[in-house]
Amino acid sequence: MAKIRLAQAEVTSIHRHGFWLRWREEELYLPFALFPWFEHATVAQLCRIEAVGVACVYWPGLDVELAVDRIRQPMAAAQLAGNKDC
């Protein structure tokens, strides 16, 4: 029987200008200047994160859902009109 492996998402560090997200084996930086809906979030809101499928993350306390590819290419994220991406 094959094991099903779920993607893991975790905030590893929060700084004044952004925060680091561990997604599987990779560390991604989300600067508040390009992801402004996180700037005034509490630590609890940032750290409560869920993996959605194999390519999205969701912050339920903020109702923000982002594709991991959008985080990898933050300049595209700056053009988002809303807070839903997946």
Q: Which of these ranges, 3-7, 26-30, 59-63, has the smallest mean pLDDT?
A: 3-7
Phi, psi torsion values for 68, nearest 5 degrees: -60, -35
Looking at the structure of the chain, the number of domains it has is: 1
The 8-class DSSP code of residue 4 comes to P
CATH of the domain at 47: 3.30.2020
pLDDT of residue 53: 83
On the question of pLDDT at 79 being above 70, the answer is no
| 27: containing domain | 9-77
Asked whether residue 35 is assigned to any structural domain, the reply reads yes
Residues 6 or more apart whose CB falls under 8 angstroms from that of 2 comprise none
Write the single-letter amino acid at 24: R
The Cβ of residue 30 has, within 10 Å, a number of other Cβ atoms equal to 20
Q: What is the pTM of this model?
A: 0.77
d(CA 4, CA 67): 21
The residue with greater pLDDT, 15 or 8, is: 15
Asked whether residue 37 is assigned to any structural domain, the reply reads yes
Residues 6 or more apart whose CB falls under 8 angstroms from that of 73 comprise none
- Mean local confidence (pLDDT), 25-33: 93
pLDDT of residue 9: 87
